[in-house]
Amino acid sequence: MIGRLNHVAIVAPDLAGAARRYRDVLGAEVSAPVPLPEHGVTVVFVNLPNSKIELLTPLGAESPIAGFLARNPGGGVHHLCYEVDDLIAARDRLIASGVRVLGDGEPKTGAHGLPVLFLHPKDFNGSLIELEQARPGEVD
């Protein structure tokens, strides 16, 4: 069902500082910041040959990652994102097998402009999982 790893998301209390560290110290290509009000975050992507790192920081006090940052003031790994070739079919199959989909269960538009869903971390060994609809022809 799942395809390639799209990205690993890391919460950063200082997004600009984290982006500089990846760019200047590790020599990575880093995107410009993108605010995502629907998700309550601002993100930058670190482009890697085989995947991406998503650096994210809260966008406002009501951000869903504000609590994560309160518990982890230095930041840390937040979630893993996997691509799927059919997000709705994957959702339905997961729900039928007892997996909890967060929110109302309906996809939202993610940072790449594609539909995404999040799966409850208690169903995946404490790891928050994001599923992203793959662009046609891009699921491995």
**Catalytic residue list:** 130
Beta pairing class for 128-133 and 76-84: parallel
Question: How many Å apart are CA 30 and CA 28, to the nearest integer?
Answer: 6
Residues 75, 18: contact at Cβ < 8 Å?
yes
Instruction: Give the separation between CA 7 and CA 113, rounded to whole angstroms.
Output: 14
CA-atom Rg of the chain in angstroms:
15
Contact 13, 69 (CB under 8 A): yes
Residue 38 has which token pair? 């629907």
